[in-house]
Chains A and B, each alone.
Chain A
Amino acid sequence: MTMTAQPQSQVTAHEPKVTVHLKIKRYNPEVDTRPHWEEYEVQMSPGDRVLDALHQVKWTIDGTLSFRRSCAHGVCGSDAVVINGQNMLACVNLIRNVGTHLTIEPIRGLPVIKDLVVDMEPFFAQYRSILPYLIAHDDPGYKERLQSPEDRERFDDTTKCILCACCTTSCPVYWANDSYVGPAAIVNAHRFIFDSRDQAAAERLDILNQKSGVWRCRTAFNCTEACPRGISVTKSIEEVKRAILYDRV
């Protein structure tokens, strides 16, 4: 064991605090006609999350600031926001890594309800449109269906999706045309299309072959860069396109 290799700076409770400047896009439908920027300054440790800084603003300066959050460690998908121009989860990015001057705004392409809270319904409706559940007509009886580790691996990447919408709301095609089903829905279709137990690949491929489907994607890679789960989003879209073209799963 290499006890000495430990970077002490990262693991002490005594790191000096730094001043973090936040410029946050605010909108309150009850009083504002359009969004405006507000600026705040808070003292944070470099090892704190951006989410902690948002909390610091809400809890010590202005309780009217609204944003969603739950798990605080990147597994629930609640707190996708745009930080300095990039789609990210506020809870998996530390001040140390994103800097002390932060511009924070709601994710784009979905209607803003209040401050950083957007209407997620259109996003979930697109998710639901691709039949996101296992469809298998055989009766496996009182035992598990078998699946080889290789077959299981085939769709492992796309099972990681937490439906945070970072990808879809970073996609220029989606911004221009919100009827596009979007990368997140395609990722979730991929998860079933390439699951050896599933029997409805053809139906899903038909759905994604429509006007609002995969062919709108121009392979811009924004989505892959935005995904906090490290899913190869563009690759999975390409695999779905190929499956449509060559009728092959």
Chain B
Amino acid sequence: MLKNFTIVRFHAKLYTVKVHYHSYDAVIVGAGGAGLRAAIEVAGKVRTAVITKLYPTRSHTGAAQGGMCAALANVEEDYWEWHAFDTVKGGDYLGDQPAIDIMCREAIDAVIDLEHFGMPFSRTPEGRIDQRRFGGHTRNHGEAPVRRSCYAADRTGHMILQTLYQQCVAHEVNFFNEFQVFDVLFDESGGQKRAAGVVAYELATGDLHVFVSKGVLFATGGYGKIFRISSNAHTLTGDGLGVLYRRGIPMQDLEFYQFHPTGIYGFGILLSEAARGEGGILRNGLGERFMERVAPTVKDLAPRDMVSRAIHAEIREGRGAGTDKDFVYLDLTHLPPEQIDAKLPDITDFARTYLGIEPKTQPIPIQPTAHYAMGGIPTNVEGEVVLDGKGTVVPGLYAAGECACVSVHGANRLGTNSLLDIVVFGRRGGRAMAEYVKGVDHPEVPRGAEAEVRDRIERFKAASGGEKVPAIRTELQQTMTENASVVRTAESLRAAHAKIDELVERYHSIAIDDKGEVFNYDLVEAVELSHLLDLAKGLVVGAEARQESRGAHWRDDFPTRDDVNWMKHSLAHRGDDGDVRLEYKPVIGGRYEPMERKY
């Protein structure tokens, strides 16, 4: 014991962090689709830094497969209003309609923009951008599936990410690669709280960097790693949300988390809806096409929340496949092999690589996988972060992409609408920030703004408790997948809540192995886990309170939508002790009145 103690002190003393100071007009945190799109808008206009914990091309936007919807009408009749209707309905009437209108209208522009940037879209025989079907996207308000999704084989996100990064290279955007933001700074000297910068940790050296900046835009992506079975990258730990949440910014609609129906069994790796767009069929263990029963019109192309619940029901009622009867099949065996090779090359390779299955002759075992956060940092349509139902903004603070909640996806995002969201609102947020910073002075940031981050790092390195980060994270993911996923009840949520409280308690006595400064991912994972715990708790508390079923939030004990009491957005505030206080704000309506959601 004594020996151990001495070693710890020794390390603590040895640790003297170097701090660097930078001054910028605009800082963008994150270099996925949203961050890069914003960067293109800002770079060259004002002094900009893009800070990213991953090399830009490693961002999870690159994993997106299926496509990006826009009513180009290149292959059949379509109007952006139809797209807007589908988005409102798909979101189960929790989306804000003015924002949805903007997204669907600007979608067309955004696709053309990407094409001009060099995006290699798949083409029609006439050389125009090709379009295909996708879940929940219909012609004329639900009549039949429509070909609206623009795509590049089944690696649309990869192509978007590469294209945007290429443009950033062309624009000589200033990147700080492998710098991880640990804190946000505000300036309250003028009486009003405004953004003042961020504190970042340089992975290669362990040095801290204080970026003082007039504008800060968060584009840090999702937090799918709160779940065990997940399509999300290991690095999707909700850092942007977590950092702001700790600093008093509320989080909107956390209880709405999407489960994609077709994750590779056991892995959670995504098989895009494009597989069903191309004609793929879901079958249960008996070989039945069960979606015919659930959604007679659009069948397998019903929105994700419905399909995931249908799969859950098949499994629960004993009609699953396999020894444990805990998966169903995605069947592509009836599709022409050439079509599979041309349109779905990557995802069929995933099935071969991870399951040893040949999708041309064998159906693929799948199960729902945690996929997308509808909720996040509340913003308006200019990407400005808003604090309440009155639209009070924090000047200089912006968010875009999956970390943000505009809200265009409501209670359930339609496939292809996120790639759209990141480019439309990345651009808007970038533009608004570039405008804003021209009109304001540099913020006041006192020396030692990094003190709290430094203390935190020192505490982690000095700690000698018996708890380990991976163990706590695994238990968190386990309870979230079991108790707070596709189907929830008061009881399951209570269990998750109690478990999270226990884990938060245990988190106080974690110790890390790596006390070093160079590429200390051990430390980084400890910080990331704090965000996962915070967000999981916010999600569960929001879900416990919401006594209705809407979109991706399904309560077996309250199986209907309740527009009288619950057509409102939640705002979770974090107390100093990590406790959650809920508040609500109204949904902004528009042309479409809520009606029952049938497909």
Contact = CB atoms under 8 A, between A and B. Distances in A.
Given A47-B266, A76-B63, A1 B333 contact: yes
Given A2-B333, A64-B514, A77-B57, A115 B115 contact: no
Given A1-B283, A132-B169, A144-B115, A75 B356 contact: no
Contacts of B59: 76
A136 B170 CA distance: 12
Given A1-B331, A71-B60, A144 B112 contact: yes
Contacts of A160: 155, 158
B62 A162 contact: yes
B106 interface: no
A64 B354 contact: no
Contact of B518 (A28, A74, A145, A163): A28
Contact of A64 (B333, B353, B469, B522): B522
A76 B62 contact: yes
B592 interface: no
Nearest to A71: B233
Interface residues of A, number: 71
Contacts of A113: 204, 518-519
A37 interface: no
B357 A10 contact: yes
Nearest to B521: A66
A174 interface: no
Given A144-B115, A163-B57, A149 B125 contact: yes
A164 B143 CA distance: 44
A70 B60 contact: yes
Contact of B166 (A6, A117, A133): A133
A220 interface: no
B126 A66 contact: no
Main secondary structure of the interface of B (DSSP, over half): loop
A33 interface: no
A213 B116 CA distance: 29
B532 to A, nearest CB: 15
A183 B159 CA distance: 20
Interface stretch (B16-24, B361-369, B492-500, B563-571): B361-369
B235 A70 contact: yes
Nearest to B324: A13
B contact residues, range? 35 or more
B55 A120 contact: yes
Interface in A108-135: 113-115, 117, 120, 124, 128, 132-134
A147 B123 contact: yes
Contact of A2 (B122, B152, B362): B362
A146 B518 contact: no
A117 B235 CA distance: 16
> Which one of A10, A12, A76, A96 has the greatest number of beta carbons of chain B within 10 Å?
A76
> Which one of B58, B128, B518 has the greatest number of beta carbons of chain A within 10 Å?
B58
B120 interface: yes
B77 to A, nearest CB: 18
B470 interface: yes
> Which one of A13, A133, A140, A161 has the greatest number of beta carbons of chain B within 10 Å?
A133
A109 B151 CA distance: 36
B502 interface: no
A5 interface: yes
Nearest to A11: B365
Contacts of A77: 57-58
Given A12-B323, A59-B470, A148-B123, A115 B350 contact: no
Contacts of B117: 134
11 contacts: A1-B333, A2-B333, A14-B323, A30-B517, A64-B514, A73-B354, A75-B155, A76-B57, A76-B59, A114-B518, A195-B118
Interface of B: 54-55, 57-60, 62-63, 111-112, 115-118, 120-129, 152-153, 155, 158-159, 162-163, 166-167, 169-170, 204, 233-235, 265-267, 269, 283, 287, 321-324, 327, 329, 331, 333-334, 346, 350, 353-357, 361-363, 365, 468-470, 512-514, 516-522
The 6 A-B pairs of least Cβ separation, nearest first, read: A134-B118, A63-B513, A146-B127, A59-B470, A133-B166, A10-B356
